[in-house]
């Protein structure tokens, strides 16, 4: 059972005169429909996943509006969809997560930006930057600069965010430039309200088809010699047109303040943190009104030179609040001021950190220096006191700790089907020796943490097999590449498998087939089992195996000769298969498909199903594993081999033994890995399997009563 967005879908139907309440990313989704978008595509991944997930589940309503929605195989295919806006007056929007998605889509974006668009083209990117990011620390800003795309960074207030979507389409059409709308994690999840408008069915849509395609125009192709003219158009027509539209429609916000001789230029997405920081400095009131004039850049590229100059003229000092490095905005403003001989002192990275997320505390530290230089006196005292209190609290906590807290690395979910494979790999390497492991993006990347610590490189989604190509020829032992089914369909099939087969490489590929694109939110894939098959497996309390062989069929069709499919929880069989792949006489690509359904998605289905059974008084059996305290030796090899959060330690009940014993705590989902590991690694036989029966049948009650009486008699 997928995560349901039924409530969110209903909010998309709101019309004029109604109030929208909800999260920022859902407001963006509603704004797309209010703007008359004709097609939407994208690749899932937090923090913008809900945009695509909601629209996919709202297919019936999208069909009524005539909006085409497509879940794309990767970001490159999503960006290529925007080619529809080159010739036709079609408004299109695509979305993906962060800079890594933009990296994948960069080829299509470059060609799109060169040719230019006729219909509005909007790219919604989750700007996943800072200490809480899950990706490399880069910014989307560089792509806007190099390719010539407008970059919107809206102030995190739902009304402003919705307006920037609507204005973004118009800006794109006025300048013939694609527009990127970047949303930080907090902007995606900020909650608020705005006055809704009626959704606009697109003039050309799936319900109102075009009779014939546009006439051929070589100038619309990103191909020499047309590209030379297109490059001139960027500087001579498109950017000036964008600047004119930005200024005329006041997309950037000018907020006055009583200290008119000072100023702050801030990226729109950082506005909320900036105001909170100014409040600590006593330079903003409870309603957010700043004492220092603010220029809020809801559009960070292109900047409007006249707007920047007018804001800076006559000021003693201006500070640019720009998150990340390099400081693109600050450098451009500095160049602009020098060219116009404006002598206003410009600050930015001299007061604020070059890299890292600009939290309220970080901003307060930098702005305290700025205010202390230009507004000496009591203005900074409250901020200094707040910062000092924060430091004191941290020091007090550190003083109470006798030693540093132990590391708590992230790990697999309880019952994750990928954990036993790494256990098997650990056992296999004890026999064949250590192997080079090319890791990949996905849930299986948790295998790089303890207790497994496996993975020598992660170079891109589905790129593991390709990344070992330079290592395999110089390695005495075969290398292992790991990728998930999501990565396989995203990129791995062509960049990895096809390349390895073409070059006749001798390598081992392990594909985790858990049935979903789990790392991005358990979205369905072409290899996801059908719903009826999943329901039958649940009713029989069995795991899904060989229910969708699309991956295996694809591999065989491509020419893979050595192919094995093994259920992930069969640790001994998986160990033997891995050992065989490393030692086999077969010279070529060897593929192991490790099949085991994502436990998180399975529990989402099973828990409501068992709850319904219990409510109707029907029999339900739940498997529970445990450890016999009298048998456990306290070796803890089972924990080192598994790493399951529900397999932990407790004090030994035997007063003559010092070492704590292993124990299975609440939260166990009964996957059986602990027992499988004990068997495969010939560990102590301390694990037991129990069946907890709720609503037992009459003969089971009688049998249990007799058995209990016999046990009590023997105990006496």
pLDDT tens digit sequence for 558-612: 999 999 999 999 999 999 999 999 999 999 999 999 999 888 888 888 888 888 8
Contact 252, 307 (CB under 8 A): yes
> Residue 697: CB partners within 8 Å, gap ≥ 6?
619
Q: Are residues 594 and 629 in the same domain?
A: no
Residue 660 clears pLDDT 80, i.e. is over it: yes
Q: pLDDT by residue (tens digit) across 98-117? A: 888 999 999 999 999 999 99
Cα distances (angstroms) measured from residue 542 to each of 405, 602, 666, 676, 679 = 40, 11, 22, 16, 21
Q: Are residues 85 and 14 in the same domain?
A: yes
* Average pLDDT over every residue of 634-643: 85
What's 205's DSSP letter? Answer: B
Q: Which of 405, 406, 411, 456 is nearest to 639 (CA)?
A: 411
Q: Are residues 451 and 509 in the same domain?
A: yes
What's 214's DSSP letter? Answer: P
- The CA dihedral of 41, 44, 49, 51, to the nearest 10 degrees, is 10
Contact 269, 155 (CB under 8 A): yes
Q: Minimum mean pLDDT among 82-86, 314-318, 442-446: which range?
A: 442-446
Please check whether residue 608 lies inside any domain of the structure: no
Query: What backbone phi and psi angles, to 5 degrees, belong to 374?
Result: -105, -20
* Buried b or exposed e, range 413-444, using 16+ CB within 10 angstroms: bbbbbbbbbbbbbbbbbeeeeebbbbbbbbbb
Q: How many CB atoms lie within 10 A of CB 289?
A: 15
CA angle centred on 11, ends 8 and 14, rounded to 5°:
165
Please check whether residue 474 lies inside any domain of the structure: yes
Where is the domain boundary, 540, 574, 602? 602
| Token output for 403 | 């030693």
* Average pLDDT over every residue of 659-678: 86
Q: Are residues 566 and 625 in the same domain?
A: no
Q: Are residues 638 and 684 in the same domain?
A: yes
Strand (E) or helix (H) holding 614: helix 599-615
Q: pLDDT by residue (tens digit) across 122-172? A: 999 988 777 667 778 889 999 999 999 999 999 999 999 999 999 999 999
- The domain tally of the chain equals 4
Q: Are residues 45 and 189 in the same domain?
A: yes
- pLDDT-above-90 percentage for the chain: 63
Where is the domain boundary, 570, 602, 634? 602
Beta-strand pair 150-152/121-126? unpaired
Q: Are residues 243 and 260 in the same domain?
A: no
Please check whether residue 609 lies inside any domain of the structure: no
pLDDT at 574: 95
What's 490's DSSP letter? Answer: I
Chain-centroid distance of CA 61 in Å reads 26
Please check whether residue 389 lies inside any domain of the structure: yes
Please check whether residue 97 lies inside any domain of the structure: yes
Q: Are residues 595 and 547 in the same domain?
A: yes
Residue 476 clears pLDDT 60, i.e. is over it: yes
Selection from 148-152, 404-408, 665-669, 674-678 with the highest mean pLDDT: 148-152
Spatial separation of the C-alpha atoms in residues 560 and 231, rounded to whole Å:
45
pLDDT at 669: 86
Query: What backbone phi and psi angles, to 5 degrees, belong to 194?
Result: -155, 160
Spatial separation of the C-alpha atoms in residues 83 and 68, rounded to whole Å:
14
* Average pLDDT over every residue of 2-17: 83
Which CATH number covers residue 61? 3.40.50.970
What's 217's DSSP letter? Answer: -
Residue whose pair of structure tokens reads 């529990």 in the numeric block: 603
pLDDT at 344: 95
Q: Is 313 helix (H, G, I), strand (E, B) or coil?
A: coil
Q: pLDDT by residue (tens digit) across 242-283? A: 999 999 999 999 999 999 999 999 999 999 999 999 999 989
Domain span at residue 647? 619-715
Beta-strand pair 39-42/92-97? parallel
* Average pLDDT over every residue of 384-400: 86
Q: pLDDT by residue (tens digit) across 53-67? A: 888 889 899 999 999
Instruction: Tell me if the bond preceding 219 is cis, omega within 30° of 0.
Output: no
Q: Are residues 28 and 94 in the same domain?
A: yes
Largest CA-CA distance found in the chain, in angstroms, rounded: 100
Q: Are residues 244 and 258 in the same domain?
A: no
Which CATH number covers residue 276? 3.40.50.920
Please check whether residue 185 lies inside any domain of the structure: yes
Q: pLDDT by residue (tens digit) across 513-545? A: 998 888 787 888 888 887 766 666 555 545 555
Side-chain-side CA neighbours of 616 within 13 Å: the count stands at: 8
Side-chain-side CA neighbours of 194 within 13 Å: the count stands at: 23
Please check whether residue 22 lies inside any domain of the structure: yes
pLDDT at 34: 96
Q: Are residues 445 and 325 in the same domain?
A: no
Q: Are residues 310 and 381 in the same domain?
A: yes
Chain-centroid distance of CA 9 in Å reads 22
Q: pLDDT-derived band of residue 378, with 50, 70 and 90 as boundaries?
A: low
pLDDT at 1: 41
Please check whether residue 569 lies inside any domain of the structure: yes
Beta-strand pair 590-595/508-513? parallel
């Amino acid at each position: 059972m997928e995560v349901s967005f039924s409530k969110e879908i209903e909010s998309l139907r709101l019309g004029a005169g109604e109030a929208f309440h909800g999260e920022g990313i859902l407001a963006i989704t509603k704004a797309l429909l209010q703007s008359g978008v004709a097609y939407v595509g994208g690749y899932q991944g937090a923090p913008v996943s809900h945009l695509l997930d909601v629209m996919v589940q709202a297919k019936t309503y999208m069909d009524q509006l005539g909006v085409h929605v497509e879940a794309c195989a990767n970001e490159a295919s999503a960006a290529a969809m925007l080619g529809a806006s080159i010739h036709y007056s079609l408004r299109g929007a695509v979305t993906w997560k962060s800079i890594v998605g933009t990296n994948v889509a960069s080829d299509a974006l470059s060609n799109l930006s060169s040719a230019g668009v006729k219909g509005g083209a909007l790219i919604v990117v989750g700007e996943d930057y800072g200490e809480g990011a899950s990706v490399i620390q880069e910014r989307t800003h560089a792509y806007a600069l190099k390719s010539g795309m407008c970059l919107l960074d809206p102030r995190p207030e739902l009304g402003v965010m919705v307006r920037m979507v609507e204005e973004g389409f118009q800006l794109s059409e006025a300048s013939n430039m694609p527009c990127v709308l970047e949303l930080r994690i907090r902007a995606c999840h900020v909650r608020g309200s705005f006055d809704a408008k009626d959704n606009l069915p697109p003039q050309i849509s799936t319900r109102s088809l075009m009779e014939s395609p546009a006439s051929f125009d070589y100038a619309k192709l990103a191909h020499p010699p047309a590209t030379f003219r297109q490059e001139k158009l960027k500087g001579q027509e498109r950017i000036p047109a964008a600047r004119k539209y930005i200024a005329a429609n006041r997309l950037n916000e000018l907020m006055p303040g009583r200290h008119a001789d000072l100023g702050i230029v801030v990226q729109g997405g950082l506005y909320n943190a900036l105001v909170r920081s100014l409040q600590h400095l006593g330079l903003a009131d409870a309603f957010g009104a700043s004492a220092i004039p603010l220029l809020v850049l809801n559009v960070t590229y292109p900047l409007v030179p006249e707007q920047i100059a007018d804001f800076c003229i006559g000021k003693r000092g201006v500070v640019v609040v720009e998150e990340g490095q390099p400081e693109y905005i600050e450098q451009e403003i500095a160049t602009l001021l020098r060219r116009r001989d404006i002598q206003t002192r410009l600050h930015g990275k001299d007061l604020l950190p070059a890299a890292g997320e600009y939290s309220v505390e970080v901003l307060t530290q930098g702005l305290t220096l700025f205010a202390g230089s230009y507004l000496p006196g009591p203005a900074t005292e409250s901020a200094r006191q707040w910062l000092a209190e924060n430091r004191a609290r941290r020091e007090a906590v550190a003083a109470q700790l006798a030693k540093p807290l132990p590391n708590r690395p992230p790990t697999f979910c309880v019952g994750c089907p990928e954990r036993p494979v790494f256990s098997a790999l650990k056992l296999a390497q004890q026999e064949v020796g250590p192997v080079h492991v090319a890791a990949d993006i996905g849930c299986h990347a948790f295998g790089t943490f303890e207790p497994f610590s496996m993975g020598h490189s992660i170079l891109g989604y589905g790129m593991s097999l390709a990344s070992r190509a330079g290592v395999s020829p110089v390695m005495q032992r075969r290398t292992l590449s790991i990728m998930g089914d999501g990565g396989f369909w995203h990129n791995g099939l062509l960049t990895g498998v096809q390349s390895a087969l073409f070059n006749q490489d001798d390598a081992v590929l392990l594909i985790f087939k858990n049935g979903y694109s789990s790392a991005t939110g358990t979205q369905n894939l072409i290899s996801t089992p059908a719903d009826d098959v999943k329901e039958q497996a649940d009713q029989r309390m069995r795991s899904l195996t060989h229910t969708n062989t699309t991956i295996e069929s694809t591999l065989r069709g491509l020419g893979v000769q050595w192919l094995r499919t093994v259920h992930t929880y069969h640790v001994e069989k998986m160990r033997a298969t891995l050992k065989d792949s490393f030692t086999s006489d077969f010279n070529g690509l060897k593929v192991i498909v490790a099949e085991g359904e994502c436990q998180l998605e399975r529990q989402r289905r099973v828990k409501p199903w068992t709850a319904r059974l219990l409510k109707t008084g029907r029999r339900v059996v739940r498997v529970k594993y445990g450890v016999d305290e009298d048998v456990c030796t306290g070796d803890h090899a089972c924990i080192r081999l598994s790493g399951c959060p529900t397999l932990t330690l407790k004090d030994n009940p035997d007063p003559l033994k010092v070492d704590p014993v292993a124990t299975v705590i609440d939260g166990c989902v009964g996957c059986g890995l602990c027992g499988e590991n004990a068997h495969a690694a010939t560990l102590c036989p301390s694990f037991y399997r129990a069946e907890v029966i709720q609503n037992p049948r009459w003969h089971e009650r009688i049998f249990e009563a007799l058995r209990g009486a016999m046990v009590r008699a023997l105990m006496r």
